[in-house]
Amino acid sequence: MAKLGYPFTLGVASGEALPDGVILWTRLAPEPLHPARPGGMPAQAVTVRWEVADDESFARVVRSGTVTAQPDWAHSVHVRLSGLRPAADYFYRFSVDDHVSPAGRTRTAPAPESTAPVRFAFVSCQRYEHGYFTALRHLADERPDVVVHLGDYIYEYGKPKNPGPGRYVRPLESEAECRTLGAYRDRYARYRMDADLQAAHAAAPWVALPDDHEVRDNWSGALPGDGTSPAAFAKRKAAAYKAYYEHMPLRVRPSGAALQNYRWRPYGRVADFMMVDTRQYRDGADMLGQEQERWLTARLTGSTARWKVLAQAVFFARRAFPADPPSADAWDGFPASRERVLAHAPDGLVVISGDVHNNWACDLRADWEDPASRALGVEFVGTAVTSMPGVTDASAILARNPHIPFFDGHRGYVSCTAGMDGFRADYRGVAFVDRPGAPISTVASFEVEANRLRRVDL
Ligand SMILES: [Fe+2]
């Protein structure tokens, strides 16, 4: 084999932290957008070395080995580490020939009995064309214990014919919407060449859920929503999920058009993260599908953690619009499913959501209209990293929904601290995304008190 060019152009990542292990990821791509060969790689297997150290300078390497990058998987690698210490920072890097990757920092989950606070951030909706991922650079600087991604990691859209003013600040190479494995791979590669996105992956382990745009806008269950047949859509979805897996530090591979996204990630006695798939199993009025709903109900009622963090993509609380019908692409389109979930709401329920490209905070309660009705938990809806637009004037929506006390129009992410004695969410907003270098600030903060929101004076 001819000597490779520098292959770590897409950075490194880790994810799916457990108390004793994580997944380490990289993908070899000397020419990430090569028109003929994925990543500009030869069609043959390549051996990749990996090292894990206790310290940032790799003076104390605690684990090392090799893994084979296969052309069938776009030369991505997923190293499954176990036997690590809980709640510990580790540093990792890869090498091929004499090329060495940047180092990443990861962190294992705490031991089951741990009561130490958990710091996490959640993000969603990073449309490349819409702006710079500056928020992700600030998120990286916070070095949280874990980053939760709630979907729309990529957008499948092609370059629009009339992009309109102000919104298309970073043009894509491709005019066409992603439909094939090659196109999805190129889209992930384009995103992963971004230094801010690489920094966020290198700073902390991620646990990620895809929403619709990893495949196609507003797809639902078996229905593509674009008039193509379910069989053609299944083929496209298989390509999309394969490319997603090839670029994400996941524990499980997709199986054809199916990807097991719902899963449970415990963080000591403090927080259970319940990752819920609100896209693949929709069927008529059913949001989750019977099997996933049974699983979720068992987790909600069985969890003994202080906080039950229900991580999912779309707006959960009622959000009545004054004139328009309710959104069919949120839980408002599936009210019976929502009622069944809320019927099992445990003490300490915190729903986290994305999708709508604005910040919101909601009280979940037995009667949306009645502040005195039983408090069932809270929902923090996080804004987009870059994607636009969301709602621009929320005043009529806020007036119509007394359980929604907060709206904000910044781009950014949400930074949270969960502890045995409290839960705090800080909405972090960047000043702009149409050029690099935006400063960040906390635009609002909330605590959870007796399953209700309490705004913190800043
Ligand atoms: Fe989005």
CA of 384 to the centre of ligand 1 (A): 7
CA of 108 to the centre of ligand 1 (A): 29
The domain covering 110-456 belongs, at the CATH homologous superfamily level, to Alkaline phosphatase D (PhoD) (3.60.21.70)
Tokens of 325: 């019908």
CA of 67 to the centre of ligand 1 (A): 34
CA of 219 to the centre of ligand 1 (A): 13
Residue ranges near ligand 1 (ion) with Cβ within 5 Å:
125, 152, 387
Q: How far apart are CA 178 and CA 222, in angstroms?
A: 18
Residue ranges per structural domain of the chain = 1-108, 110-456
Dihedral sign computed on CA atoms, order 311, 313, 319, 325 = negative
pLDDT per position in the chain (458 positions), as tens?
Answer: 778 999 999 999 999 999 999 999 999 999 999 999 999 999 999 999 999 999 999 999 999 999 999 999 999 999 999 999 999 999 999 999 999 999 999 999 999 999 999 999 999 999 999 999 999 999 999 999 999 999 999 999 998 777 767 778 998 888 799 999 999 999 999 999 999 999 999 999 999 999 999 999 999 887 777 778 889 999 999 999 999 999 999 999 999 999 999 999 999 999 999 999 999 999 999 999 999 999 999 999 999 999 999 999 999 999 998 888 888 899 999 999 999 999 999 999 999 999 999 999 999 999 999 999 999 999 999 999 999 988 888 999 999 999 999 999 999 999 999 999 999 999 999 999 999 999 999 999 999 999 999 999 98
Query: 435 — phi, psi (to 5°)?
Result: -155, 160
CA of 70 to the centre of ligand 1 (A): 31
Between the CA of residue 197 and those of 12, 181, 324, 404, what are the distances in Å? 10, 22, 36, 31
Q: Residues 223, 228, 229, CA angle at the centre, nearest 5°?
A: 70
Q: Identify the CATH number of the domain defined by range 1-108.
A: 2.60.40.380
Beta bridge partners of 89: 107
DSSP assignment of 245-302 equals: HHTS--SS--BTTB----EEEEETTTEEEEE--SSTT-BTTBSS-HHHHHHHHHHHHH
